[in-house]
Structure formats: C-alpha cells, structure tokens
Structure 1
Amino acid sequence: MSGEHHTVTVRGIDVSSYQPSTYSANGLDFVFVKATEGTSYVNPRMTAQAAHARRNGLVVGFYHFLRPGDMKAQAAYFVEKCASVEGDPLFADWEDAGVSCAQKDAFLAEVKRLRGATHRVGLYCNLDYWKTRDTTGNAGDALWIADYVTAGRPRIKAKWTFHQHTDRPLDTNLGAFLDRAALRAWATGTTAPPSRPSPPPAATYTVRSGDILSGIAARYGTTVAKLAAANGITNPNRIYAGQTIKIVK
C-alpha cells in the first residue's frame, strides 16, 4: 500500500506465449501463466510453462485476458481451457478499454461461481485502471496491481496481494507473504489472505465522474452506511462529481 513497507520475500514472474516454455526459476516462488484471451485464444505454451514451474516447486496461477463480449462465455472458456489444478489462483487480466468495470465484476463473479470452491479468484490491472476506471473496488480474492515503482510499494490505498513492479527483463512481481509456504497455504485455502495494516483513512475524498458510494467505501475499508451517515447522504445512489465525502471508519 502507498507509503508503507511490508515484510515480503515472495517473488515471481508472469509469462505468456512471448516467453519460452522453460525459463530460469532461480529465486522464484511463483509463476502466473497466461491461459486464454476472449473466447478464441489459448496460449500454446501454457501447459509446458506451468509444468516447468511445478517441476521447480513453484506456486502456479493462471490469468485470462478480458476482451469485450460475453463475460460468462469468457469465464467458461477460461476455466475449461486453463491447465489449472485445485489450489491454483485464477485471475482476470483487465487491460482492454472496451471492457467496463461492470463486465470485469461479472467475469470475476462467474469464475468464482464456477471454480471458487477450489481456487482463489483475483484481478490484475494497472494503476490507471484501478484509480480511474474501477468504480467498485472489487478485486475478488486478491488484487494483483501493476505499478512500476519500488517493489512492494504500489501507489494505492487498497490492500494488495501481488505487485508487478517492473517488466524488465520479464514481468516481475512481489507477493505479500512471508514465504512460499504461506503463499501456498493461502492459495489452497488453508489460511486467510495475508494480513497487513489498513491504509490510513483520508480525511476527505472528492467524488469523480463514475464514482459510486460503495466503491469509495471499499477503497477506504469502510461501509456505505457509515459514509452516508457521516455526510448526511439520504440516498446512497446519488452522489455527484466534485462532492466532498468525509471518510470515516
């Protein structure tokens, strides 16, 4: 979280068809592999890339690149085609401007419905998408944020689980876990998500176009009811751009 240091030693990379089927696993604890895109593309190296990670004892996850269209169909395609086993985290990769926040949420919900009993389901997006396109604060079970700054210090207030901090020479990530065992325990559902201090509450927040009160509440770790009561809001569905919201916990 912005402005805070965390004890994190879990490191990983993410790969797609642009990377070879085998790669150096030295110093890594996890690998996230691109599985699918839309409803017509499967990474031809996915199975080999995942198998290489498993042979090296790494935690493996998979992601689906969202494209405009039917989110339920994309979710079904993803879970059918990806080479996952029970306990592998599954992510929505939200980078296409043609995919709305509501569609992103619909995809997460459908993957959770299909595989939530055996898999963590999370969201990957960059800093701009999280701050300017997201209006609900919904990242499923885990936020994987891309922000190319100091490792472990993405410029967001929301709790994050993975931080992609550079793309040179590969997309490189840090996980908010003490060690690989803790990451694996979280992925397999035997522990709760990593605990980190909550971000310090902002005194006020200025509403931007597209904001909704529930999204603001989620970003600051509070509730719609508390924000409405503190700001004299009688209809939580009616806030306007430029309005100042007092943040209370």
Structure 2
Amino acid sequence: MLNAIDISSLQPHPKLDGVDLVIIKASEGRTYANPLRRDQEKAVRGAGKQVAWYHFLWPGNIQAQAEWFIKCADPKAGDVLACDWETTTSNTVPSCADKDAFLAAVKKLRPKLRVILYCNLDYWKRHDTTEQCGDGLWIADPGAAAGKPRVQHPWLIHQYGIRNNTDVNVVNFATVQEWKDWAGAPAPVEERPAPSGPTPSPYTPPAFPAGLAPGNSKPSAKPLQKALRAAGFLQISDGDLSDTYGPRTRGGVGRFFAAHPQFRSKGQPNDVAIGPMGWAFLFTLAYGRK
C-alpha cells in the first residue's frame, strides 16, 4: 500500500519523506479557501508526490460549493478530488442528499478526474443511505490498524491515525504507477537531448564571377577547378591549376553537366560554360554538404 497525508492550513510545512500522496484542503463552504494551498501544492509537486484536493462540505448551496472547490483547487490532469463529509464547525450536518449532489456536481465540472468521498466510520454506517462515494471511499477509522478499516464496502484510502499533528493514511494501491494509471495522470513527455555543439550555419556559395567562360583567364578558373575536384568531376593537382578556362576545365564542367543536366543551357548538348545557377549548385555540392 501507498502512504498518504492530508493537510490544511494547520500544516504549513508538512514532512514529505516516505509519502506518496498528499491530499490538500482547497476550500470549505462557499467562501473559504486554504491560503497556503498554492505553496503547499508547489512543494508537493516539486518533491515528485501525487496530489489530491478536498473540500469541506456544508449543507445546501451545493452547485456553488462545487464551483468554488474547482476554482480554489484548480486541479491538474491526474489529480483526485474529494468531498469531506462530516459535522461542520457550526455543528450542522450536510445530508446524504447534499453529499450525493456534491459528488455529482464536481464530476460534471471535471468529468475526466476521479471524485471520491471522505467520511468517518459513524457517517458511513449511520448517516449514509445510498453508499454513493463517487469513484472511491476514503474512510476515517483511527481505531483500526492501517489498511484494515471496519467497513464492508470496498475502500480506496484509510485514514488510520495522526502523526506529528498530521493525519496519516494508507492507499489501497501497490505502486504509485497503479495510482497514476487509475487517476488518469498523463504519461511523461520524453525529453530529447539537445544536440551538442553549435548548430551549423547554412552554406552560402561564393558569388559567381562575372566573365567566367571557356577560353578566358580572367577571372581565374582556379576556384572552379578546385570545386570540380572536390565534387569528383575533375582530377587535377594543385600544380596543374590554371587561371585559364581551358580544355581540362571544360571536361570537368562537361562531366558535371552530364550528372546534372538541368544546369546546361537548353538546346546545347555540348555546353561546357557554367552559369550562376550551376556554379552555386556545384559549390554547395563540393563544400556545403558535410
């Protein structure tokens, strides 16, 4: 079984060691909100514990109480919501009909969340007439050993005592994952590691040198020859590089055009004059695809 505690503003800094689930008081009646609930929630979630919320029910004004509860709790996916059904500080008793209506109202407001009932042994055996406990029974029976409440009805949580001024409970699940599956907690999003090192910048080929053409030596044909060599279209040593766009360079350009004919001038099957688009593609092929 799992271990749980339930807390209110009376436990501003609860001890979370060994605790799997924390049930936080969110609200009471139509106007009271636990002023510490957000700080408590932050601490509980930060410690990796499961979260549930409870509302202390008063007689009447059921829909307003349900709406106030949801507003105060602001529950997240996988949180569980509970109705605390017991005698109020004014010594009034919400009826069994009030309890049933509240459970139904909260479920309607948050249909994807589990909604459960908290009450003590006396309320369950002597005040309840419907056995309506929503998605589960949270029973207070401090006179019984942990996990052995004196009820015939299936139970979800057993509040069995007080430790360090805090109510302690056991939860009828074997693992936290079973609780999360039952509560509908979303699966964790797998985080992919960011790529190491700087992101490479897109390659930008050098500008096409105006006037580059077969037979010319100005501008120099050496950059073209080096690009043809790097891309695998020309075998030439550094000592044989020449400023002149001669026969060797033409042969390399011809082989480039044979592999990528879209860059050859239309209607000229023997074209060996590279243009700006072919130049840009050749340099990207040679130097930009690493």
Give the TM-score normalised by structure 2.
Answer: 0.60
- State the AA in 2 paired with 1:90: L
Larger RCO, structures 1/2 (Cα 8 Å, 6+ apart):
1
Q: Is the 8 A contact 1:50 1:83 kept in 2?
A: no
For residues 166-219 of structure 1, what are the alpha-carbon distances to aligned partners after superposition, in whole Å with 9 as ceiling and x for unaligned?
A: 0232100000001111111111168xxxxxxxxxxxxxxxxxxxxxxxxxxxxx
Q: Is the 8 A contact 2:54 2:84 kept in 1?
A: yes
Shift of residue 50 of structure 1? 1.1
Q: Residue 151 of structure 2 corresponds to which residue in structure 1?
A: 156
> Is 1:51 matched with 2:42?
yes
DSSP-derived class of the 1:52 partner: helix
Q: Is the 8 A contact 1:47 1:83 kept in 2?
A: no
Q: Which of 51, 60, 85 in structure 1 is aligned with 2:51?
A: 60
Shift of residue 24 of structure 1? 1.8
Q: Is the 8 A contact 2:79 2:185 kept in 1?
A: no
- State the AA in 2 paired with 1:138: Q
State the distance in 2 between where 1:14 and 1:174 align: 11
Q: Which of 16, 27, 30 in structure 1 is aligned with 2:8?
A: 16
> Is 1:82 matched with 2:82?
no
List alignment gaps of at least 5 residues for structure 1.
1-7, 191-249
Structure with max Cα Rg: 2
State the distance in 1 between where 2:84 and 2:155 align: 15
State the distance in 2 between where 1:52 and 1:25 align: 9
For residues 110-140 of structure 1, what are the alpha-carbon distances to aligned partners after superposition, in whole Å with 9 as ceiling and x for unaligned?
A: 00001022x1000000000000000000000
State the distance in 1 between where 2:14 and 2:104 align: 33
Q: Residue 177 of structure 1 corresponds to which residue in structure 2?
A: 173
For residues 17-40 of structure 1, what are the alpha-carbon distances to aligned partners after superposition, in whole Å with 9 as ceiling and x for unaligned?
A: 0011x3221101000000000001
What's the C-alpha RMSD, in Å, of the aligned pairs?
1.2
Q: Is the 8 A contact 1:46 1:83 kept in 2?
A: no
DSSP-derived class of the 2:82 partner: strand
Q: Residue 217 of structure 1 corresponds to which residue in structure 2?
A: none
Q: Residue 140 of structure 2 corresponds to which residue in structure 1?
A: 146
State the distance in 2 between where 1:51 and 1:14 align: 15
Q: Is the 8 A contact 1:120 1:189 kept in 2?
A: no
Q: 1:189 to 1:84 in 2, by over 3 A?
A: closer
State the distance in 2 between where 1:86 and 1:40 align: 25
List alignment gaps of at least 5 residues for structure 2.
187-290
- State the AA in 2 paired with 1:141: D
- State the AA in 2 paired with 1:16: S
- State the AA in 2 paired with 1:143: L
More helix by share: 2
> Is 1:69 matched with 2:63?
no
Q: Residue 168 of structure 1 corresponds to which residue in structure 2?
A: 163
- Alignment size in residue pairs: 180
Would you identify which runs of 4 or more consecutive aligned residues in structure 1 move more than 4 Å? none
Q: Is the 8 A contact 2:3 2:170 kept in 1?
A: yes
Percentage of identical aligned residues:
46
- State the AA in 1 paired with 2:5: I
